[in-house]
Each structure stands twice: as C-alpha cells, then as structure tokens.
Structure 1
Amino acid sequence: MTSSKMELFFAVVLLSSFYYLVVSDHQGDVLVTMKDSLNASGTQLTDWNPNQVNPCTWSKIICDGDNNVVSISLSNMGFTGTLSPKIGDLKALTTLVLQGNNITGKVPSEFGNLTSLTMLDLENNLLSGEIPPSIGSLKKLQFLILSQNNLTGIIPESLSGLPNLINLQLASNNLTGLIPDPLFQVSKYNFTGNHLNCGANFPHKCESNNEGNSNKSKTGAIIGIIAGLLAIIFLAILMLLFLWKGKHKGYKREVFVDVVGEIDRRIEFGQLKRFAWRELQLATDNFNEKNVLGQGGFGKVYKGVLQDNTKVAVKRLTDYESPGGDAAFHREVEMISVAVHRNLLRLIGFCTTPTERLLVYPYMQNLSVAYRLRELKPGEPFLDWPTRKRVALGTARGLEYLHEHCNPKIIHRDVKAANVLLDEDFEAVVGDFGLAKLVDVRKTDVTTQVRGTMGHIAPEYLSTGKSSERTDVFGYGIMLLELVTGQRAIDFSRLEDEDDVLLLDHVKKLQREKKLDLIVDHNLNGNYDVQDVEMMIQVALLCTQGSSEDRPAMSEVVRMLEGEGLAERWEEWQHVEITRRQEYERLQRRFDWAEDSIYNQDAIELSGGR
C-alpha cells in the first residue's frame, strides 16, 4: 500500500471513530438531559452516567447494531418532572414508553422530529396542554397512547394523516371539538371520558370505543354455553385418560399437549448476556437436583449463584431435539427480551450449545403465588389480604403491557398463580413466557399451538385452538379466584361434598347463594375487606365469561381494580348470566363419575410453571 493510500486509510478510520464518539456522546447528553428533566431520584437510572460515552450499555435502553438508541422504556418509575424537548434529537428512536408516572407539563412539539417512532406511550401521567400537531409527521407511528392525562384542546387534524396508525388511545382527558372522521377507521381507538363531538357521520361514538360491542346478545350467550360444554367434554376425556393411565401404571403423571407451530423469525438478542455453559454449570452445582425450583412442560428450573454472587434461576430446556424445540427457545428469548415492565420477569441472558438450551432469570426469593397460597412450609408467612390485592393489580398491569404495549403483542397463554412470581417486596412478576406467542397486530388469533393448564384454559381455546388476549383474560380471572380462595382451579376433593370440581363453578354457586365466608381463604382468618373481596370476585367472573367477546380487555380490568367502571359492567353481567344459566340448564348434560375412582389432587397440566 502506497504512503498516500495508507494516509487515506487511517484518515477514514479516524473519521469513523470520531463520528461514533460524537453520535454516542450526543445521545448520552440527550438521555442525561431527559433524566434530569424527569426529576429522577438518586437511586433511579444510576448507570445513566454522562462520563460513559456509550449509552447503549445503560439500563432501560436498547440500541441497534449501529449503536443508535432505538428504545426507551421507563414505565411506572414515579417520575414527577417534565418531558425534555431534546428527546426529539434521537432520530433512530422507535419506541418511547413513559406510562404510569406523574410527569407534568406539555408534550414537546419536538417529538414530531422522531421520524422513526412506531410507539409513543405516555398514558397515565399528568400531562397538560394540547396534543402537538407535529405528531402527525410521524408516518411510521403505529401506537399513540395518551389516555389518562389532562390534555386539552382539539384532536389535531394532522393525526388523520398517520398511514400506519393502528391503536389510538385518547380516553380520560379534557379534549374538546370534533373528532376527525378518518380516526374512526383506526383498528383500535378510545375517545371516552372527554368532551368531544363525533360529527353527523359517526353518531353515538364519542363515549364509546371499538374494542367490542357491549350489548350482550342471547346469541353470544349461547355461543359461550356451547363452548363451555365442549370444554367440559374435552376435560372429561382428559380426566378419564389421566385416571386410566394412573390406575394402570400406579403413579401420578402430568398430561402435556403441544401442537407445535412454525417459527421463522430473525432473533435480535439486544443487551442480553450470552452465558458460557461452564459458567451456568458451576452456578447450579452441576445442575444438582437439590437446586431444582420447579419443573414444567419445557424442562426444569434451577437455583444458581453466579461468580459475582448474583442469585439466578436457570431454565434448562429438555425438548430441544423435538420438532420446534429450538424454535420454542428462540421464541421465548425474543418474547422476554422485548417486554420490559416492572410486573414482568426480566430475562438476564441465555446459553446455547449443540445439545443445550438455557435461559437465565433473576432469582425470585419469595417464589410463586401458588407456593405462597398452598405449598408453604411450617412457619412461613402466608399472603395477607393487602398483598393479594397488590398481586392482583400488578399481574393485571403486566398482562396489559403484554397485550397493548408490545409490538407485536404477546399472548401469555398460561396465566395462573404458579406463573406469577413474587420479588423481595412481594410485588407480582409475571413469568413463564415459554408459552407466549407473537401475534401480528393485524390479526386477532392464531391457531398454531394449544398449551396451558386445565381449569385455567378458556373454553374457546380448547374447542378451536385459537388464542387471543381474551384467553389470557380468562386465565387471569381464574387466578383472581385462586387469590381469593387459596384453592386450585380443579379440586376433586370437592366431589365428596357434592360440590363442583371446577373452582369457577364452585365460586359462582357460592356467590349466588351469598356465602362469601365460604369463598374466602380460611387462612386469612377473617382479616380481609368484604367490599374488596366482592370487587375481586366480580372482576373474576367478568373475566371468565364463556363468550370471549364479553370479557373485558386487560386495560379495562386494571381500571376496574382501581375502582372505575365495575358497577356498570357487573349489573350488565348479572342480566346476561340469568339468560345464560337458563340456556345452560336446558342444554346441560351431566357426567357420571364412578364412586370408587381415584382422583388426582394436582391440577392437570398441559404445561406447568417453570
């Protein structure tokens, strides 16, 4: 290489390095300014250090391959400051989530410079002023979530020009004026709780949304009944199969069902740590059985301690050689890496070898809600009522995030007390995304795989194999009943008292008979708020309606648990339930069980907590 070419080569290298440093340094300056503007406390975002050149290593930040900041997620952190206009300088930013804080002030017009943005979520803050018309410049924007603030003024006409907008949430503000007609064509919108004018072309829509018709028709009730009967038949077949195998083989076994779908998706692992096999082998004492925390459909979970004394939970998958095994691993890694929320279990890293697939999570020292309800060792504290209330709300918020703030949305498909973990403060952390599935935001259901736990699975999922957000809502409703009663979703011991095997039917019967004291977990010894219990039972029964279209979305569940809108939905449900029960009694066919049958006390698992 000639001297001139060498000089040119080094000049290019130096210019590239200089460009990288300048870009990274500028992004860091923007983020530090953002942190200061939000009034972050001394214990928040401590690694957002202006002396560190590369902000891609900071918490809550995701960068692309060119070290451009593409995602900022700061939900429910208690910020009380304002939004910095400098955020508009992050031209590669695709996701900005700041929901659930106490942020004041205006939405900066500079946000209109975020031309790569696909999601802007500022829900549940104290923002005021008008919606900047410059937001209409964000041609890639798909999610605009501004509900539950103090925004005023009109809805900018410029929002009508957002070609990719699929979810517009403006509820519970102080907006006025005419709603632009094109916004009624958005796939999902909510304008309720404002002072808006829909115009002559769209009457009666200002105080409603398009998330489903609230009129509960008799046809919908009958559909729910038929789905329920199909579920009972399916359950009966599984029970008979289970009992026959147990009788002939002399031991209990779990029943797993898995119809594997196709996965063809490029995985981007972001900031996840890639662990060495030897590192995890040492952490778990060579995967010693004494360190097993649990076992489910995909394998065992081991307690481990890393070299820096960090406690972790290592999930060692066992079906990697089966069809879909590797795809299932990649699916889970992708799922958890893109879902960041205080009520969702965070994935620390992963490990792959030709014969092993492992996932690494933080260790939850208080284990699961199911453990705290039913598996306590002598002397361990049970869950008191205030903690159960926090668990109910925290779980709902985690699922709401999966359904409404992830792009693509995430369906969990095995919501139950065993898959809700408890951190050191007994806050709910939704785990086990091995069963979660990505769903394109333009689709309502996918039929690739049926997995879950009997007693928690929605009837339409059993009968059709189609899952949606509302199948998760059903599982969540059953989990609420677990919290209230402390009981399993299926319990054959209740047959001895001629009660219902299914917890849902058992609670509905006692609720009709107004026997609240027989519903509530006896371990509480009467230390609970009667109105709180009634509220939680009502929400649970709304979530477990036979027809999926009748169930509330998780965002509505969160609002009901916070005291908003439950009374109206409950009154409506009672009218529908009368019709549904009359139809059910007409169509019901009873299953006769042999008196000398031996019933398993454990929930029949199609997949378990891992």
Structure 2
Amino acid sequence: MLYLFWNVGLLLLCILMESSCATLSPAGVNYEVVALTEIKKALHDPYNVLDNWDVNSVDPCSWRMVTCSFDGYVSALALPSQSLSGTLSPGIGNLTNLQYVLLQNNAISGHIPDVIGKLQTLQTIDLSNNKFEGKIPTSFEDLKNLNYLDVSYNNLSGTLPKISARAFKVLGNPLICGQGSENNCSAVYPEPLSFPPDSLADQPGAARKSHRMVVAFVASFSAAFLFIVAIALLLWWRYRHNQQIFFDVNDSIYGKPVLDWSRRKKIAKGTARGLVYLHEQCDPKIIHRDVKAANILLDEEFEAVVGDFGLAKLLDHRDSHVTTAVRGTIGHIAPEYLSTGQSSEKTDVFGFGILLLELITGQKAMDFGRGANKKGVVMLDWVRKLHQEEKLNLIVDKDLKNNFDRIELEEMVKVALLCTHFNPSHRPKMSEALRMLEGDGFAEKWEASQKLETPRNRAFEHAPQRYSNYVEESSLVEPMELSGPR
C-alpha cells in the first residue's frame, strides 16, 4: 500500500511537470518564470518582498505573492502596499492566464503596458495610488471579461477608452478629470466595488449564487484540509512504523537488520526502473543529478523509489546535456561533470554505478577510504583494481557472511564498471543497465566495452584514468555535500 502511495506521488510529480510543459520552451525554460523575472527586474524592491522569485526555478507557483490555477498557470499577481517603485515591465503580457493584477498603494511609475490589453482572462486590475503616467491604453477596450478597473490617483492623461468593466475608477488623475476636462469621470465609476464585487448581489438570483459559491469554497477548503491531515498522519505513521524513509547502506552502523543479497538486487533494479522513467519516459526528461543510496526511498517490502529531486533538471530530449554549476555529492559525481560542469542522463548513470558499488560493499562512497588501511583510496579505483586482480570476494560487505551468488556478484560489479566508464558515451543508457541487471544482453555489452579499452580508442587518453585524480585535480577536493540553488 505504501509502495503504491510513493509511486502515485512520483507519478503525480511527473504529471504536474508534464501539465506545465505548455509554458516550457524546448530548452526547458518556463515562459511565466521569465515574465515574472522581467517584472521583478523593472521594479525597485526596498524590502526584498520578491527575494524568492528565482529565475532558475521550474515552477513559480510557490513564489511569494503569486497565485496559480489548478492547472499550474499564474492566475494572480498581488503586490499591494509593498513600497515598490520602478516601472511595470511589458513582460506581464506573457502571463496569458492572469485573472487578477493588484498593484495598488505603491510608487510604480512610467506608462501602463499596452500588452495588458491582450490578457483576455483578466477580471480585476487595481493600479490605484501609484505614479503611472501617460494614457490609459486603448487596448483595454479588448478586455471583454474585465469586471473592475481602478487607475485612480495616478498621473494619467488623455481621453478615456471605452472600457466594458462594471466599475471603472479614474478619480484623482488631474489631467483626465481636472477642471475643464472633456472627460465625464463621474459616469464611469458607479459605486466602489469590493473584491469580489458586491454589486453582483443586486442582480436576480445573485444571493443564491453567492451562497453556492460560499458553500463550494468551504467544501473545497475542508476537503483540502482533510487531505493534508491524512497525508500528515500517513507520514507520521510511516515514521513511527519504519523510523526511516530513506535507504542507508550503513543501517547495520545503527543496529538495523542487514540487507540480504536478494534485497540488494531488488533495490538496484527498482532504482534503475525509476531512472529509466525519468530519462526515457518523461517529457521533458529529468536529470536527477544526485543519484546515491541516501536518496533512494524504500517501503516495507523493500521496493525502491528514487527520491529527493532538489537538484533535478528538466532537459529536452533533443538536448544532450546542460551546463550548470557543479552540484551533488563527491564520490558520486561523474568526471566530465566535475571538469566541465556538463550534466546529462549519463551523469546519472555514473551515480547509479556508484550506487551499485555501495550496495555491494555496504559502505558509502563518501566514507570509503577513511580507514587506516585504505587512506586516500576512492571506492571506484579500489573496485577496478580488485576486479583486474580477480579478488572480488574482498569487496563484498562482510555483514553478508558470504551469503551471495558469486556469478550475480561478478555481473553486478561489471554493470557498475560499465556505468562508471570515464567516457560518458561508452556508458549504457539506464534502460540498457536495467536489462543487464535482469540478465539480458550483459555478455555482449561487456565484450564490446573490452574492445574499446585500448589506448588508441580511449576518448580520455590525455586525462587521468583514476577517478581520485579527477577529484584531486578539480577545485572540489573536499569530501563534502555540494548542495545549493539549482
């Protein structure tokens, strides 16, 4: 049941990501994030109320003072009384699903962007008590769904466009409504409207409609509240029942039962299936960028689910890589990512190979080599050496007490070595790694890889062939968690 819950959660995550793809460019850039960032750049924000508007985000729905609809589009921009100055960027025209714009009681100046007239879903615009100047855009005449427009107490001028809003307030603009003006300002704002408009109550049947809306709101809020409570109770029960959600290869350093060989194989295959889904079945594909044992979720049946997407990146299937600041965990980061900052699905494959070695050895790549006997040795280099010397029995977790299949051990080690090849183009795709773990095509892939292991064919012949050299020669020599903004 819990396995189903976590898988449904992962599925919902990908569905939500896919549902927001309408706002993504082929490069994985969210147009609404770009639009909001342009708005932020044009404003002066003395109290940093917009500090969590991050251009590197995939989804702006968690940003302060931004509200999204159920399908993930920005529907409201509410920044009243925030001491903002500067100008209002035309980028607001790219928020094509906006219904409410509330910027009243600030000190925003400049012209009102013409492009607002293209936002056909707009219902309420309040720009009152600012320093806007120039004309009210005639494009506002095209806003057929507009209920409320308040531009009072600004420095606007010119003639009034024919606005179809139920309430249109322009009082306090001397160049429009001053003495001698030809504009009939008193005719365009019947009675002040609240939010939502009270005047709807004067219409036949409006009271019943209002009542139904209140009932619907209360019911929706109650359902959401109960859902949150249910999730909290489930997580609390899970904590009490298992005392741990994330998998740790060292659970026996804490007195917990040792994972037997069959469970370790099950975890390896479950993790591979999760990465296959992220790389080859999601659109856009998802690069996890921090594949390691500590980020694998297990249920009570030891089914594995990939977790912790804090460093994940979206990538179009036509793109081979993305260049970013290096983030992840030393010991799991692919050499090309360390040296160039380029991450791809093949960097996840490298991390998966290290994960297999963690499952086999029962040690974390981070902690490996800190003992007196293996000082300065990186796990991957150590395993490669013992594999060449045909001493694989020395790498197996002693807590297994020799209860493992020797043939399966050799195959899993070879899969790990294929996944951690220094040349990313020689690493298998995750779907190929999964098939090899299931016994399909393993011999052919290994034989093909051995033919490539000649000095003439190495793509990295001028680079150090020991993983420890990459770590030592990079600027990231500390055995530390490399986390932070994506």
State TM-score, norm by structure 1. Answer: 0.40
Q: Which is helix-richer, 1 or 2?
A: 2
Q: Which has the larger radius of gyration?
A: 2
